[in-house]
């Protein structure tokens, strides 16, 4: 199996792991911890569990309060997820694939919530001395954010290796001896 194919399989497995971990944490909040009924659980001086129903997208924007708006938002996020899968299958480098996998797994977790409940379950409430640097979020949101940051950092600071045929190195003169990019 080629290295890019292995990287893609790893990416799909990572996306599945993020999805399962996200759904497990949400199951814990809804089931055993009964967070919806309790509303809030104090844990640490800087981290609590607080039940929040996010009916919009990031930062609660574009709230989908009607059934039609909910399904339109589902269709849009589903289309974005499809684009991410296609992008991930075209990538060769593990760093890019892993970042896309984080975004995909998180997006699928939030899509499932929206389909099942009509909203995304958020519960992670991080604060520092009473200041909340983030809105209340979930594991899927964290994975999406980390994936996007990795993609941005890689796009801005990583030098792209040239594909064979686009440069002047030995691999470009003899494509049979080209090195795979990781």
The more confident residue out of 143 and 67 is 143
Residue 59: CB partners within 8 Å, gap ≥ 6? 135
Range in 3-17, 26-40, 149-163 the model is least confident about: 149-163
- Residue 152's beta-bridge partner residues? none
Pair of tokens at residue 109: 């977790």
**Quick one: pLDDT at residue 102?**
98
Strands 47-54 and 40-44: what pairing? Answer: antiparallel
Mean pLDDT of the chain: 86
46-61 tens-digit pLDDT: 999 999 999 877 655 5
Strands 120-126 and 47-54: what pairing? Answer: antiparallel
91-113 tens-digit pLDDT: 999 999 999 999 999 999 999 99
132-167 tens-digit pLDDT: 877 899 999 999 999 999 999 999 988 665 555 554
> Catalytic site residues?
122, 141
For the full predicted model, state whether its pTM sits above 0.85: no
Whole-angstrom CA distances from 148 to 8, 34, 134 are 18, 31, 16
């Amino acid at each position: 199996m080629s290295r890019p194919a292995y990287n893609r399989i790893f990416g799909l497995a990572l996306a599945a792991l993020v999805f399962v971990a996200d759904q497990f944490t949400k199951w814990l909040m809804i089931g055993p911890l009964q967070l919806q009924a309790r509303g809030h659980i104090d844990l640490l001086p800087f981290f609590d569990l607080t039940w929040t129903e996010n009916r919009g997208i990031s930062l609660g924007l574009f709230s989908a309060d009607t059934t039609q708006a909910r399904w339109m938002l589902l269709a849009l996020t589903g289309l974005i997820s499809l684009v991410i899968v296609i992008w991930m299958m075209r990538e060769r480098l593990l760093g890019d694939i892993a970042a896309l996998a984080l975004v995909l797994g998180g997006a699928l977790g939030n899509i499932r919530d929206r389909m099942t409940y009509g909203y995304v379950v958020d519960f992670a409430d991080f604060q520092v001395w009473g200041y909340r640097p983030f809105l209340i979020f979930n594991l899927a949101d964290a994975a999406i954010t980390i994936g996007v940051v990795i993609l941005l950092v890689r796009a801005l600071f990583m030098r792209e290796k040239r594909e064979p045929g686009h440069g002047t190195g030995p691999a470009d003169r003899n494509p049979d001896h080209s090195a795979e990019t990781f």
